[in-house]
A and B are shown apart, each in its own frame.
Chain A
């Protein structure tokens, strides 16, 4: 069974803190993604990675960075958290077969920045 695991379901951080959100997949997928989900806006792509140590900016990369040191793990980093980064963060992965582009999602991390 396909599994994408996000390390935390809920996080509360203070403004200015450095925040790490971790995601692990066990499907040997090449591609991994970080989205944020806000009511009425759907999912917006922050960053994605198509291979170890490779990354590409998505639609809203400002204020975020990512790290992909191992194939199974993709980390989202908020260098200095701000209140407008309070959101639900979803990680996804996808295999190399392009035809169907099916992404598998983790359960999400709900981050509150106070």
Chain B
């Protein structure tokens, strides 16, 4: 069945790069997503990547997709204290697109 896995916790120092990793199992996924959840808030879409792409860059964010290994990563350059949040990886289950499968979330803590 579908499964999306992430490590639970990551701690970095302000100014360093953060890399959050995710593995998924459904090779038919068309889109993969990164959502951010700040304390007490809902999820906010950060970025997404289409499955025929290897990389997508958007300002401080770089998404890398290794489709062969079913591995997705989110790199945040020059991490700031405002980046402290929970980051969720998600995949579309099929082209009908009504269902997303979410990972368990990675809590990023940025130390000053």
Contact = CB atoms under 8 A, between A and B. Distances in A.
Interface string B4-44: 10001000000000000000000000010101000011111
A56 B43 CA distance: 22
Contact of A43 (B31, B48, B97, B102): B102
B103 to A, nearest CB: 5
B80 interface: no
Nearest to A48: B98
B31 A107 contact: no
B55 interface: no
Contacts of B48: 100, 102
Contacts of B40: 9, 107-108
B34 to A, nearest CB: 12
B100 interface: yes
A76 interface: no
A98 interface: yes
Contacts of A9: 40
A19 interface: no
Interface of A: 4, 9, 31, 35, 40-45, 48, 50, 56, 58, 90, 92, 94, 98-108
Interface in B92-109: 92, 95-100, 102-105
Given A42-B4, A42-B88, A107-B42, A101 B104 contact: no
B102 A105 contact: no
B31 A100 contact: yes
B88 A105 contact: no
Given A50-B98, A58-B99, A98-B96, A105 B104 contact: no
A104 B41 CA distance: 12
A108 B104 contact: no
A100 B41 CA distance: 23
B104 A40 contact: yes
Contacts of A106: 42
B24 to A, nearest CB: 12
B77 interface: no
Contacts of B42: 4, 90, 105-108
